[in-house]
Amino acid sequence: MHEITRTIAAVKRLLEQGKGGVLITVVATRGSTYRRRGARVVISEEGEITGAISGGCLERDVVERVRSWIADPTPRLLTYDSTNTADIVFGMGLGCRGEIDVLAEPFDRAHLPQLLSFRWNGREPVVWPTRLEGRELLVEVIRPEHTIAIFGGGPDVEPVARLSQQVGWRAVVIAPKDVHPEEVREKVDLSAFDAAVVMTHNFLHDLALLSVLLPSAVPYVGLLGPKSRGDELLEQIGDIPAEQRARLHSPIGLDLGAETPDEIALSIVAEIQGALSRHTARPLREVDGPIHARDGVTCP
């Protein structure tokens, strides 16, 4: 489930229970911060937390204020500053060295946060402004959750689907018994997927799937199995344009020393995350400069 969908669901759940809370949106950051612009957290009047904008310190501060804010449900702009050497903000230690501007929107049934009017536009990005008293504090380009197609029916499929869902993606398992690989072209809308993982453990099934997936517009295609097997499959297909070969990840996954199905799933999902976000998947200690991009407000 996409983070913004989870946030909206948390607000609606509290309202249905007749409760109030506070929606916190990060609208600007300076320096090193745990989360960037567009991060959100919902905190109920009882202190229940959904989401994260920090490692927990800012949320704890809001928990202390939530009841008084609901009593005076006026949206307010706050700045948390951890650039001081004492690393203390409102009596709480912060591990980062930056400043965070947040919009706090207390809500109840009579005072609804603006996020409740958010609507998805199919697979198209949504341009979403966050305002305070008519002033735009933040404009986001919010993209739908990544959707991954997993072709296979073995026991190693479930960990990939489960981990994909845990990181907020939508996972669709397409087993040969449900849609035969030879029928995928006619029965599956491949334009709905950001990534496809081929793990049928059947040479002919993999051949049929790659013959359909490589010419498609799916940005990431991953093939489980040794490199020699992948090369043999490509030879069977024949002449493949360089652009299609570049989208194929064979063998699939990162070199994590994975052995168990869960470890293999981790290496697969991690590689897909890096490929779709156009990052190298190198250790962060080898990356020069900031971890997060300084410009742009795109939310994948």
Q: Considering its fold, how many domains does the chain have in total?
A: 2
Same domain flag for 113 and 171: no
Q: What is the CATH number of the domain that holds 153?
A: 3.40.50.720
Whether the upstream peptide bond of residue 251 has omega within 30° of 0, thus cis, is: yes
Q: What is the mean pLDDT of residues 74-81?
A: 92
Same domain flag for 151 and 106: no
Q: How confident is the model at residue 297 (pLDDT cuts 50, 70, 90)?
A: very low
pLDDT in tens, 153-206: 999 999 999 999 999 999 999 999 999 999 999 999 999 999 999 999 999 999
- pTM (2 d.p.): 0.81
Pairing state between β 49-51 and 40-44: antiparallel
Tokens of residue 92, six digits: 């709480």
Enclosing domain of residue 196 = 147-276
Same domain flag for 107 and 178: no
Q: Does the pLDDT value for residue 64 go beyond 80?
A: yes
Question: What local confidence, expressed as pLDDT, does residue 96 receive?
Answer: 56
Residues 98, 31 contacting (CB under 8 angstroms): yes
Q: How high is the mean pLDDT of the chain?
A: 90
Domain boundary among 86, 116, 142: 142
Same domain flag for 119 and 15: yes
Same domain flag for 117 and 166: no
- Tracing tokens 């994590």 back to the chain, one arrives at 256
Domain boundary among 89, 119, 142: 142
Question: What local confidence, expressed as pLDDT, does residue 37 receive?
Answer: 92
pLDDT in tens, 113-136: 999 999 999 889 999 999 999 999
Same domain flag for 120 and 220: no
Question: What local confidence, expressed as pLDDT, does residue 195 receive?
Answer: 98
Residue 297 lies inside a defined structural domain of this protein: no
Q: Of 12-16, 32-36, 39-43, 153-157, where does mean pLDDT reach its minimum?
A: 32-36
Query: In angstroms, what CA-CA distances link 18 with 13, 15, 101, 105, 297?
Result: 9, 5, 29, 17, 34
Q: How confident is the model at residue 1 (pLDDT cuts 50, 70, 90)?
A: confident
Q: How confident is the model at residue 88 (pLDDT cuts 50, 70, 90)?
A: very low
Same domain flag for 182 and 260: yes
Same domain flag for 176 and 72: no
Residue 281 lies inside a defined structural domain of this protein: no
Q: Does the pLDDT value for residue 253 go beyond 80?
A: yes
Q: Does the pLDDT value for residue 268 go beyond 50?
A: yes
Q: Is 238 left (phi over 0), alpha (psi -120 to 50) or beta?
A: left
